[in-house]
Amino acid sequence: MQPKGRRHPFFQGALDAAPFVIVLAPFGFLFGLVASEAGLNILQVLSFSILVLAGAAQLTAIQLLTEEAPTVIVIVSALAVNLRMGMYSAALAPHMGDAPLLRRAMAAYLLFDQPYALSSVAFEKHPDTPVVDKFQYFFGAGAPIAFLWYLTSLSGAVLGDKIPSNIGIDFALPITFLAVVAPMLKSSAHVASALTASIAALIFNFMPFGTGLLVAAFLALIVGATVEVWAEKRAART
């Protein structure tokens, strides 16, 4: 976590997170633009980014709102996108569970993909780091890019409010989601899960109110986990 030994863990975290700026800044800007063109006002866009702080879930909610899905389905689907963060929480609890509640709550708020990824690697490498320093590192890896997320979605919303353009969500969503998912397709289980999700979503597309999405995602979870178990068994046999 502190290769030179002297750098403050907060700044080390911020430094490690810096490369993510090139991904998060355009993504945040795009969210603001797309959300404001779909009909959200600037305050709603900014509140969305501050309260939820998760791009894929925010875009999913906007998409389902434009499809006029019922409120409950919109919320459940957006939360389904964020379920992976329960795994992040479980992974970091052994390192960060021993701290005052308020501090853990603040860390939970910032528990999105990038600070999780950086911290889990750093904590595995230096498990004996004091808990206080682990929190400092985590906040350094999360807070600056969270602020960048608010700022870029706000500027996207302001611009979308002023200049109507044709970057609709039906174009932005496939590109951004495919760009996020493609690098994850590194095992047969991941590929099987993504294929199941796509095909099942088309088969169950007739279901009302976006409920087909939830059925498809659930099937894909089962297929992913099952193929992983098969692959492990096969690897154990050979």
Partner 1 sequence: MIEASTSQIWTVIIATGIGTFLIRFSFLGLIGNRQLPAWALRMLRYTPVAVLPAVIAPLLFGNGPNAMDPIRLAAAFATLAVGVSTRNVLYAIIAGLSVFIGLTALGG
CA 218 to CA 193: how far, in whole Å?
10
Q: Which is nearer to partner 1, 7 or 147 (CB)?
A: 147
What is the token pair recorded at 13?
A: 């975290």
Geometric angle at alpha carbon 17, from 15 and 20, rounded to 5° = 130
**Amino acid sitting at position 1:** M
Distance between the two ends of the chain, CA-based, in angstroms? 37
CA 196 to CA 169: how far, in whole Å?
23
Q: Which is nearer to partner 1, 11 or 73 (CB)?
A: 73
For tokens 């501090």, what's the residue?
103
Q: Scanning residues 114 to 173, which ones bind partner 1 (CB under 8 A)?
A: 168, 170-171, 173
Q: Which is nearer to partner 1, 15 or 199 (CB)?
A: 199
Q: Which is nearer to partner 1, 71 or 238 (CB)?
A: 71
CA 31 to CA 105: how far, in whole Å?
26
Q: Which is nearer to partner 1, 125 or 226 (CB)?
A: 226
When asked if residue 18 is in the footprint of partner 1 (CB under 8 A), the reply is: no
Helix-then-strand count for the chain, H and E: 12, 0
Q: Which is nearer to partner 1, 15 or 26 (CB)?
A: 26
**Amino acid sitting at position 168:** G
Residue 89 burial (CB < 10 Å; 0-12/13-18/19+)?
middle
Q: Tell me the residue length of the chain.
A: 238
When asked if residue 17 is in the footprint of partner 1 (CB under 8 A), the reply is: no
Using the rule CB under 8 A, give the single segment among 52-60, 126-134, 144-152, 156-164 that binds partner 1: 52-60
When asked if residue 39 is in the footprint of partner 1 (CB under 8 A), the reply is: yes
Residue from 158, 185, 209, 231 binding partner 1 (CB under 8 A): 185
Using the rule CB under 8 A, give the single segment among 21-29, 118-126, 142-150, 153-161 that binds partner 1: 21-29
Q: Which is nearer to partner 1, 38 or 148 (CB)?
A: 38
Q: In whole angstroms, what separates CA 3 from the centre of its chain?
A: 28
Q: Scanning residues 72 to 101, which ones bind partner 1 (CB under 8 A)?
A: 74-75, 77-90, 92-94, 96-97, 101
CA 131, 135, 136, 140 dihedral sign is positive
194-223 mask for partner 1 (x: CB under 8 A)? xxxxxxxxx--x------xx--xxx-xxx-
Q: How far is the CB of 160 from partner 1 (least distance, A)?
A: 13
Q: How far is the CB of 154 from partner 1 (least distance, A)?
A: 15
